[in-house]
Amino acid sequence: SAMDIVFGNRSGPLGRPVAMASFVGEALFWGPGPSTGKSVNLGLHLANAILVYLLILAVLRGFQSSAPRACALIATMIWCWAPLQLSTVLYHVQRMTLLATFFYLLSMLCYIQARLSKAGSGRWFYFFGCALSFVLAIGSKEIAATLPIALILVETVFFQDLSDPGVRKKMLIVFAAGAAGIVLLGSILFLRGNPLSVLNGYRTVDFSPLQRLMTQARVLVLYITQVFYPTPQRLSIEHDVDISASLMTPWTTLPALLIVCGLVVLGLMLLRRRPLLGFAITFFFLNHAIESTVIPLELVFEHRNYLPTLFVFTPVAVGFKWVFDYYQSKNRLLYFIVAGFFCLLIFWLGTGTYLRNYAWQTERTLWTDADGKAPGMSRPLSSLAWAVYEKNGRYGQALLFYQKALQLKMHRKYRRASLYNNIANIYFLLGDYRSAEEHWQRAIKLNPKSPNYPYHLAVMLHRQGQRDRALVLLDRVLARRPAEFNYLNLRGIILLHQGERHQALV
């Protein structure tokens, strides 16, 4: 049912019910399909662009910036048209990121409006909107957990006098208390009260928390270069990133750590003297704190930059406007050159986004593009094997791709098990039951907690007439998971075939 989909999702600790409700609503009102999903995502991206414009406008007015509307429009255009945002819009499931960003922005706008309003019911209305938007953002995706810290940052930069040492000390205490509160709330909501449980995810990956942290420094540097040099050749749904085994392996690890740490310190130092630039830098790294630190997620995904880059282009826009104004009165030729450069920049971004869109036309073009840019990774080949060949009955070609993917890099152990499962399924369809069983046994050994692989093997054994072996396999899983419907159903069918009707009904 629709309610089961909304509240029964396993993506994230809270199930992301707001995002799942949007998928249900999309299917009910417009019907399922990739074009519908992309249209809804594009609409959300445009809505986010409007909120980005309003938020940057509010920020610039707080700084009493000249021509805030023009600066806000320039910054929003660059953010909205950047090719880096394309994966968020066209990747259907990243509706979660789009919605989380939408409510994140709405919450920040409500907070700023509440602080600017006079005391009374109007102010409390905006504070309520701020809190409600935060809940909806968390219900869309857990990346919104950084919002309270972002609001403290807004309060510190826009509404407090940082030239006063007493104010700086007070806000430092508030920031520390807020960070501790977020960690406590996050451990209760997401980690069942045990912050160390986040380390459980490392059982399924081939890197340690320290190695991931070092690797993410290099990934963050990659993101920064993609933000400011987003050519389609540098963008991909998959990136081949080696694990940082030490500070010098690979050699870029230490320089990347120094760059990231230096930028974080620079951002914090600039909050008082160059607050707009300091805010943009700090906001960027704050919103990478969840997905780009020690939580054992996938190493690289371009959509993770969607929220962090909201304010990155604001100082750029202010700089453009200052140059425009300066040369407008000083040198008309240079003024037109700068204006022409800005037009070329927007055209270049738009062209890059348009060209990058070609890679997302079909599953074949997407994964072929990824395979060309990350030939050492197994995911593009395995995705091509499934989407292009296995799904269309071309089992021989799919088998070759799966077997080649087994030889390539994958940072999650369950992916190798999944490949063995897919290979076993093809052998089963081709009638090679011995090879099918061999590969399912390998999948079970690599991922013994998955209920799918033993079930598929039990189905094959049942069809072969090896029902006693199938029952042993089923009972082994049911001893751990007694409510598995598929297992219970298959067990009943096998017992019926064996003439044990009473036990089958039980």
Strand partners, 409: 377
| Cβ atoms of 52 and 78 closer than 8 Å | no
Rounded distance between C-alpha atoms, residue 337 and residue 51, angstroms: 31
Q: Which residues contact 253 (CB under 8 A, 6 or more apart)?
A: 214, 215, 217, 218, 244, 246, 247
Query: pLDDT at position 3, please?
Result: 59
Tokens coding 474: 């089923």
| Cβ atoms of 467 and 455 closer than 8 Å | no
Query: pLDDT at position 34, please?
Result: 67
Q: Which residues contact 45 (CB under 8 A, 6 or more apart)?
A: 80, 85, 88, 89, 98
Query: pLDDT at position 168, please?
Result: 78
Query: pLDDT at position 1, please?
Result: 53
Rounded distance between C-alpha atoms, residue 411 and residue 204, angstroms: 9
Asked, as a colleague might, if the bond just before 165 is cis with ω within 30 of 0, I would say no
**Which of 344, 325, 345 is closest to 334 using CA atoms?**
325
Query: pLDDT at position 7, please?
Result: 62
DSSP E strand stretches across 195-273:
none
Q: Which residues contact 59 (CB under 8 A, 6 or more apart)?
A: 112, 158, 276, 279, 311, 314
Query: pLDDT at position 10, please?
Result: 66
Query: pLDDT at position 64, please?
Result: 65
Query: pLDDT at position 16, please?
Result: 86
Query: pLDDT at position 324, please?
Result: 84
Query: pLDDT at position 303, please?
Result: 95
Query: pLDDT at position 23, please?
Result: 87
**Which of 463, 405, 465, 395 is closest to 425 using CA atoms?**
395
Query: pLDDT at position 434, please?
Result: 93
Rounded distance between C-alpha atoms, residue 285 and residue 216, angstroms: 12
Residue 83 DSSP label: G
Query: pLDDT at position 192, please?
Result: 62
**Which of 326, 325, 324 is closest to 338 using CA atoms?**
324
Strand partners, 382: none
| Cβ atoms of 275 and 64 closer than 8 Å | no
Rounded distance between C-alpha atoms, residue 53 and residue 385, angstroms: 43
Tokens coding 222: 């990659």
Query: pLDDT at position 151, please?
Result: 93
Per run of 10 residues, the mean pLDDT along the chain (length 506 residues) is: 60 80 83 76 95 92 77 93 93 94 97 85 89 95 92 88 81 80 68 68 87 96 94 93 94 97 94 90 95 91 96 92 82 84 88 91 93 95 94 93 94 90 94 94 90 92 90 89 87 87 73
Alpha helices (runs of H) in 331-373, residue ranges in sequence order: 332-359, 363-373
Would you call 361 helix, strand, or coil by DSSP? coil
